[in-house]
Structure 1
Amino acid sequence: MTYLTAFGLSVAFPLYHSDNRSLKKTVLGRASGRFAKDDRQRLVVQALRDISFTMRSGDRLGLVGSNGSGKTTLLRTLSGIYQPASGSLSMEGRLTSLLDPGQGMNLDLTGWENIRLRGYFLGMGKADIARLEADVEDFSELGQFLDLPVRNYSSGMVVRLAFAMATAVHPEILIMDEWILAGDAGFMDKAKHRVEAMVRHADILVLASHQAGILAQWCSRLIWLDQGRVRAEGSPMEVLAQYLPPQQFEEIEKTKSLLATNPVF
């Protein structure tokens, strides 16, 4: 049974140059309770504070909050990139995290070499890697650029390669930041159905996004993070009603009503 459970997760980042008196005065004067000292008496910023939730197969969790609220930190902690200062994290299922366009890519290697590297990382055999290469080549439409080192790619080409590789394999637990929803209009029009298929086939989804319409459409539950804490949790429309300005929420309600007659999932 696929599951993901976070209990009391807290993450803190030391401010290594905090011995400077003016910095301390400035930080402590504006901290609003988010800064503290760790057991080594270092000044730290509390990026996440006491985050708990449980997800089972079929759950879709969306994260909302202003920049710096802790959304990306939580995604990185769930993905194993950050170690929590306290609390625990347990899961069952194959996890894929899509947090950064360049995640897992070696810029000195060619596109082809990066595709094969991804296949090896996923434990694929030769036949599966060959299918992965064909799928990424067809979807990314990068053609002969796949023969070049990735450092020679434009930012848009990097997104195309990263997107094609990331969405070629369907995970059981999908951790996704909103970079995957960005890109040039022509490519994203083509990519929309591929993203939706990936979301639909994942057992569990955790998505952070500023696009309220996507969260209302794709998620069954939202958490509103504010200064590293959970400020509200509930159904998408309940949380968005608290989080969004009234006029913007009314637009989401109208869109939601239209989608109800022709749902994506």
Structure 2
Amino acid sequence: MVSIDVWNASVDFPIFDAKTRSLKKLVLGKVGGKIGTEGKVPIIEALNDITLSLKEGDRVGLVGHNGAGKSTLLRLLAGIYEPTRGSARIDGKVAPVFDLGVGMDPEISGIENIMIRGLFLGMTRKQMEKRVDDIAEFTELGDYLQMPLRTYSTGMRVRLALGIVTSIDPEILILDEGIGAVDAAFMEKARDRLSDLVRRSGLLVFANHSDEFLAEFCDTAIWMDEGHIKAQGNLREVVTAYKGRDPFENFSQETLRRIGQSPALSTNGGDHA
């Protein structure tokens, strides 16, 4: 049974050479949170006192403004970051998809990149070899799969990366919002593959700004604000609280019924808004 449990976890980043405001601002923009101090060393408090429990079957959307701590939380849930304080336990094989291009080598062929990227996402070489034909058909790259990745256009690289990502079998799927930043026409083609990928995953955490993607793939949500969990529960209620309006009111009745059957909104740490 796959699960993620986090107890009173905080993630801090010490800045050992922060003589200028610009450096602190740059780091803060990447991880979110607040700047504190520990002695004379500035500390970025990226996450503060996070407690949550996710189990198999959960489909969780992660919302919040840029710098709210979403990416740091995703990396904590993926086991990439260890808590500075508190603890986290992950049961299950994690497939973290934060950037479609991570793990791709421009100097080797598309076929070789399929193998390397698959290994990066936790698959075996044999598993990826069985998926090559399917990925090739989906991407429509033909003979380009034998060519070095540096000869590809940006669109071709996205096709290859998306074909690989949607071919894996994750127990815990951690998706960052960059997955939706692709050509609209090709994303429409990839939508069924993404839906199937989510169905195959035991547990999903998906950070995205798109109401359509959140409604399609998630039924609960977590709202991050300044490194804290501001609210969590029913997708529609959490996103409405975050945006100050109901973005789902014109969605189909079938979608509204599905996203309306998850746990009710619970708020936490109103002082941190």
Q: What's the TM-score, normalizing by structure 1? A: 0.85
Percent identical among aligned pairs is 39
Please say if residues 175 and 207 of structure 1, whose CA atoms lie closer than 8 Å, have aligned partners that are also in contact. Answer: yes
Which gives a bigger RCO, structure 1 or 2 (Cα 8 Å, sep 6+)? 1
Q: What is the correspondence of 1:113-128 to structure 2 with a 5 Å cutoff?
A: 113-120=112-119, 122=122, 124=124, 126=126, 128=127
- 2:253 aligned residue: 257
Seen in structure 2, the aligned counterparts of structure 1 residues 113 and 45 have a Cα distance that, compared at 3 Å, is same
Please say if residues 217 and 256 of structure 1, whose CA atoms lie closer than 8 Å, have aligned partners that are also in contact. Answer: no
| Residue 110 of structure 1, CA deviation | 1.5
- 1:147 aligned residue: 146
- 2:131 aligned residue: 132
- Local SS of the residue matching 1:106: coil
- Residues 203-262 of structure 1: per-residue CA shift (max 9 Å, x gap): 10000011123223422221110111111112112212211132xx1x412215353479
- Structure 2 residue identity aligned to 1:259: T
| Residue 114 of structure 1, CA deviation | 1.2
- Structure 2 residue identity aligned to 1:253: E
Structure 1 runs (4+) greater than 6 angstroms displaced: 22-27
Separation in 2, partners of 1:107, 1:234: 42
- 2:165 aligned residue: 166
Which 5+ residue runs of structure 2 have no aligned equivalent? 27-32, 260-273
Please say if residues 172 and 202 of structure 1, whose CA atoms lie closer than 8 Å, have aligned partners that are also in contact. Answer: yes
- Structure 2 residue identity aligned to 1:60: R
- 1:227 aligned residue: 226
- Local SS of the residue matching 1:225: strand
- Structure 1 residue identity aligned to 2:185: G
Q: What's the TM-score, normalizing by structure 2? A: 0.82
Q: What is the correspondence of 1:20-59 to structure 2 with a 5 Å cutoff?
A: 20=20, 34-38=34-38, 41-59=40-58
- 1:210 aligned residue: 209
- 1:89 aligned residue: 88
Alignment of 1:156 with 2:155, yes or no, is yes
- Structure 1 residue identity aligned to 2:5: T
Over aligned residue pairs, what C-alpha RMSD do you find? 2.6
- Local SS of the residue matching 2:138: helix
Seen in structure 2, the aligned counterparts of structure 1 residues 135 and 23 have a Cα distance that, compared at 3 Å, is closer
- Local SS of the residue matching 1:252: coil
- 1:4 aligned residue: 4
- Residues 47-79 of structure 1: per-residue CA shift (max 9 Å, x gap): 111111111111111110001111111112222
- 1:16 aligned residue: 16
Seen in structure 2, the aligned counterparts of structure 1 residues 205 and 23 have a Cα distance that, compared at 3 Å, is closer
Q: What is the correspondence of 1:63-82 to structure 2 with a 5 Å cutoff?
A: 63-82=62-81
| Residue 168 of structure 1, CA deviation | 0.6
- Local SS of the residue matching 1:253: coil
Alignment of 1:238 with 2:237, yes or no, is yes
